[in-house]
Amino acid sequence: MAAAAEPKTEGYPAAGDESNEPALATTGDEDGEDDGVRDVFMCCQQTQAVLDKTKAWLGDDKPLVIKASLPKFNKKIDKMTGIDIIAFDTPCFGPKLTRTVLGLFTHPLVQETARHFKVQVPIYTINKIVQDRMKRAKNLVEEATKLQFDATAIGKLSDFIDAVIKLTPGQFSTSEEWYGFVNQFVAPGWEDKMHMNSVLSNFGFPPDECKALNDRRDTEQDTIGQGFRWLSKGFDCFGFPGSLADVVNMVFAMLNQQPGRPGQGEVVAIVEDFQQTFCNVSDWKRLWVPTHMIHDAEYDDMASWLLVQSIHYKRMTTLQVMIQLPVGDPFDEVERKLTATTAIEAFRDADSTNAQNVTQAAKMMFGI
């Protein structure tokens, strides 16, 4: 791998200065010293090119601990032969989780780090992907109408779907405004009813009708299942502009959680625990902090990088980063921006399939 560059010092808080912000533990012992282990977090598409690049970049002269965010859409090959990975695929959905995740980026240290590296801090915005795919939720309206289900509930469901589809940029500026919008269509307590088994009850569908529609999932094209999926996501259409997967999986990794499929309430509680740990000096030692990171430049990857980079920024240590980018001239400017900082490299991967998401992330994080 490339030799580690000396950490930049311009703009850093003075070493040992704890007066304004809490310092955070880096990999190794509590004072941030290197313990000789390469702690690697991966949140990229796992392809043959990534496997080859990872082996060449990390080498074999030091012990490795590799943890990865690995939802199904990141898995392009069956196995990363030759390297052992602790893979996380934590369920990530719901407004409560979104609000908790976005709260991580309000910390003064994260804000200062973002300014130093000239990137935008993640904020609430309309998720264009969710908004576009909300039309698939109309399958539920059509099926419920065909089955002659509760007409009032069908009306509320249809009105909500149409209203989300018609959202415009700048319509909301705070989560409170978004909650007020949603409350026009559903009963109180909707934040806790995001699962497919209960989401329709928010609109007044009785239990037997909720079950009947759920029983119609898993058809040949699963249009009903797609409807449920995007209806649930619609409650989060004003929130994090992309998947939460990489941020949440990284939080689980840094808190040394075991991979699994915890419920929504437990996921929120663990992210809240991370937020408290992030702010509490006495809890620094709890964190597993990556020394190396491999990501594919989507919005949640950049957000994950910002959190880890904040730790290294405070401790005046170097986070080594390798970025997987799609091929093509349109990404030359993205690569230039991403690699302008010491210790960040990029490579092009012909098997990368996230060109649109990288373009959107670059626009939001860098304004390009």
The secondary structure of 270-289 as a DSSP string is HHHHHHHHHH-GGGGGG---
pLDDT at site 20: 39
Task: List the pLDDT tens digit at each of the 368 positions of the chain.
Answer: 333 333 333 333 333 343 333 333 334 444 455 567 899 999 999 999 999 999 999 988 788 999 999 998 888 887 787 889 999 999 998 899 999 999 999 999 999 999 999 999 998 999 888 999 999 999 999 999 999 999 999 999 999 999 999 999 889 988 999 999 999 999 999 999 998 889 999 999 999 999 999 988 876 568 899 999 999 999 999 999 888 999 999 999 999 999 999 998 999 999 999 999 999 867 878 899 999 999 999 999 999 999 999 999 988 899 999 999 999 999 999 999 999 877 899 999 999 999 999 998 998 888 77
Q: What angle do CA 56, 88, 358 make, to 5 degrees?
A: 65
Q: Return the H-helix or E-strand segment holding 178.
A: helix 175-182
pLDDT at site 236: 92
Are β-strands 320-325 and 292-295 bridged in parallel, bridged antiparallel, or unpaired? parallel
pLDDT at site 168: 94
pLDDT at site 1: 35
pLDDT at site 366: 85
pTM (2 d.p.):
0.83
Are β-strands 38-43 and 64-69 bridged in parallel, bridged antiparallel, or unpaired? parallel
Helices of type H across 26-137: 48-58, 95-104, 108-116, 128-133
Q: Nearest to residue 295, comparing CAs of 357, 340, 239?
A: 357
- How far, in Å, CA of 353 to CA of 142, rounded? 33
Structure tokens at 254: 């840094």
Identify the burial level of 157 via C-beta atoms within 10 angstroms of its C-beta, where 0-12 means exposed, 13-18 middle and 19 or more buried: buried
- How far, in Å, CA of 224 to CA of 229, rounded? 9
Domain parsing of the chain, residue ranges: 38-121+242-366, 128-239
**Is the Cβ–Cβ distance between 293 and 321 less than 8 Å?**
yes
pLDDT at site 285: 82
Amino acid identity, position 293: M
Q: Hunting for tokens 């690049």 — which residue is that?
A: 53
